[in-house]
Amino acid sequence: MKRRDFLKTTTPLITLPLVIGGLPIHAIGRTRVLDTLWRVLSTTDRVLVLIQLNGGNDGINTVIPLDQLSAYYRVREHVALPESSLLPITNSAALHPAMTEIQRMYNEGMVTIIQGVAYPNTNLSHFRSTDIWMTASDYNEYLKTGWMGRYLNTLFPNYPSGYPNASTPDPPAIQIGAIMALALHGSHASMGLALQDPETFYNIVNGVEGTAGGQTPDTRPGRELAYLRQVELQSQQYSACIKAAADRAQNRASYPSNNTLADQLRIVARLIAGGLQTRVYLVSINGFDTHAAQVEEGNTTQGIHATLLGRLSSAVYAFFDDLRQHGLQDRVIAMTFSEFGRRVASNASYGTDHGTAAPMFVFGTQVIPGIRGTNPSLTELDANGNLLMQYDFRQVYTSILAQWFGVDRDLLRTVMLRDFPTIPIIQTGTTSATETTLVGGTNLEIFPNPTPCGQRAKITFRLTGPAEVEITLHDETGRSFSRMSLGYLDAGHQECFLPPVELPGVVFCTVRAGNQFFRGQLVVE
């Protein structure tokens, strides 16, 4: 339900005044008010951008373990970075010297790093391991649907049949790429639209004919091919809404040149700013299969890996700067993933070979900043000399679905195929963007109730899982007058005291905890 629909349904109901977002609303009673309010809050405008690092990123040279430098220089003699060049982010970890913008974002509280991400029995084939990451399957399980496609299928049932329509005119997902990634495949089809490259996007925006797949020769076969491409472009059902969104906004940040990832993220930012309601975008950057020339001989701060990480860093920074200038930074997070990491030891070709665990990055103003897990040990390795896993990548997916999109436990099990523990990644109580699939509406226990003016009342509630918890108090007009964060709490019984209220009346108390919420009324005498 959108706000305008909420107004239409509640305007004829006149008894008690309530204000939501500065607009006067009327409802039959307090219970009806709260029920309708939570229906409004179930509409989400949150966006997830997936950034694929194709080839298998070397996590050890991305997040360098400062507490193991002796081992680092011993086993990575051909690719180790000089200590003086590293970009410290904690006392025990530093970033690659090419990642200056991401270091700045980290210092601004906009980066979460999850260490040691992999899956049991890691497959070191690019194709097979990519499929596993895309589908969220076990190493010996073969699936035809993707983890995000399964989730989007629950929001857009029977897609693509009946879509687009008046209420959902925009594609559920957009990928900048020739073919939709397996991660976005639903039960019937891919859950969205693939733009072959940035040129295709600008052809749509500018109404250029005959170039849907690039320039064609001025020959009879070329003209026939151009015609077929034009038919394909015109047949894209979502072209009109993409053009409309792009026409409504322009990029405000300065993006780096000669950077394919920046070119893709520039498009994503423009579409988000233009009001496109697409929930998921997938972009990618190639070249991370650095068996040779990962670094330059004689200067390890330069080379293929430095170029790639520099492009990642500058592109992500420009993207979030663009969102900030549009006032949209709280609505969007971005997450990196790669099919595997690299081996601990370097090879004689100034590169690294296929390995197992590597860090994942989550960017945005709504992340819980910092590092999850510990620096991977460079000496305690598996039987093949690879890093040990700390987190299953499906834990990260589960955490994003639960904490960013508010997916409840039962639906998580359906999407992720079984239960996975979550990791604290998202500040679920602090963003202005609303969550979806809120669980329960469970009543709070408040004692004493009524409470004398100026005295504190105690509330109790039970969390079904760990979550960031925030308490908000509203008066009878719907105005929020007090907000209190309890931080990240474990599952189980919880109790705390509310701040004292100095004026008599009815106070509405709401506790938001991940995808759970609790509410109650306190009478102050």
**Same domain? 410 vs 482:** no
**Residue 235: strand pairing partners:** none
Amino acid at position 180, single letter: M
pLDDT for the residue numbered 522 = 86
The CATH number of whichever domain residue 515 belongs to comes to 2.60.40.1930
pLDDT for the residue numbered 216 = 64
**Same domain? 63 vs 31:** no
Question: Of the residues 400, 416, 432, which one is the last residue of a structural domain?
Answer: 416
Q: Is residue 524 included in any domain, yes or no?
A: yes
**Same domain? 87 vs 138:** yes
**Same domain? 67 vs 79:** yes
pLDDT for the residue numbered 448 = 92
Q: Is residue 372 included in any domain, yes or no?
A: yes
Strand ranges across the sheet with 516-524? 439-443, 516-524, 505-513, 467-474, 480-489
Q: Is residue 227 included in any domain, yes or no?
A: no
Q: Is residue 197 included in any domain, yes or no?
A: no
Tokens of 145: 């649907």
pLDDT for the residue numbered 304 = 98
pLDDT for the residue numbered 332 = 96
Domain count, the chain: 3
Cα-Cα-Cα-Cα torsion 49, 54, 59, 60, nearest 10 degrees, comes to -150
**Same domain? 495 vs 460:** yes
Q: Is residue 229 included in any domain, yes or no?
A: no
Contact 270, 246 (CB under 8 A): yes
Tokens of 115: 């260490």
**Same domain? 27 vs 92:** no
Rg over CA atoms, the chain: 25
pLDDT for the residue numbered 395 = 97
pLDDT for the residue numbered 57 = 98
**∠ CA(209), CA(214), CA(215), 5° rounding?**
80
**Residue 507: strand pairing partners:** 522
Q: How many CA atoms lie within 13 A of 309 on its CB side?
A: 27
The CATH number of whichever domain residue 91 belongs to comes to 3.40.720
**Same domain? 326 vs 474:** no
**Same domain? 411 vs 266:** yes
**Same domain? 272 vs 372:** yes
Which SS3 state, helix, strand or coil, does residue 182 take? helix
pLDDT for the residue numbered 443 = 62
Q: Is residue 281 included in any domain, yes or no?
A: yes
Burial of 104 (0-12, 13-18, 19+ CB in 10 A): middle
Q: Is residue 405 included in any domain, yes or no?
A: yes
21 lies in which domain range? 1-43
pLDDT for the residue numbered 42 = 34
**Same domain? 129 vs 272:** yes
Contact 461, 518 (CB under 8 A): yes
pLDDT for the residue numbered 490 = 81
Q: What is the DSSP string of 376-445?
A: PPSSS--TTS-PPPSEEHHHHHHHHHHHTS---HHHHHHHHSS-------B-TTT-SS--SS-EEEEEPE
**Same domain? 37 vs 64:** no
**Same domain? 450 vs 402:** no
Interatomic CA distance for residues 435 and 469, integer angstroms: 14
Strand ranges across the sheet with 492-497? 445-447, 458-463, 492-497
pLDDT in tens, the chain (525 residues): 343 343 333 333 322 333 333 333 333 344 444 433 333 333 357 999 999 999 999 999 999 999 999 999 999 999 999 999 999 999 999 999 999 999 999 999 999 999 999 999 999 999 999 999 999 999 999 999 999 999 999 999 988 888 888 778 889 999 998 778 999 999 988 898 888 888 888 888 887 754 445 566 778 777 666 655 543 443 456 888 899 899 999 999 999 999 999 999 999 999 999 989 999 999 999 999 999 999 999 999 999 999 999 999 999 999 999 999 998 999 999 999 999 999 999 999 999 999 999 999 999 999 999 999 999 999 999 988 899 999 999 999 999 999 999 998 899 999 999 999 999 999 864 333 333 333 334 567 888 989 999 999 999 888 877 777 888 887 765 566 787 888 778 888 888 999 898 888 888 888 877 656 677 888 898
DSSP annotation of 451 reads B
DSSP annotation of 329 reads G
Q: Is residue 239 included in any domain, yes or no?
A: no
pLDDT for the residue numbered 311 = 98
DSSP annotation of 254 reads P
Instruction: Please choose, from the candidates 143, 119, 116, the residue with its C-alpha nearest in 3D space to the C-alpha of residue 131.
Output: 143
Contact 347, 332 (CB under 8 A): no
User: Helices 100-107 & 304-325, crossing angle to 10 degrees?
Assistant: 40
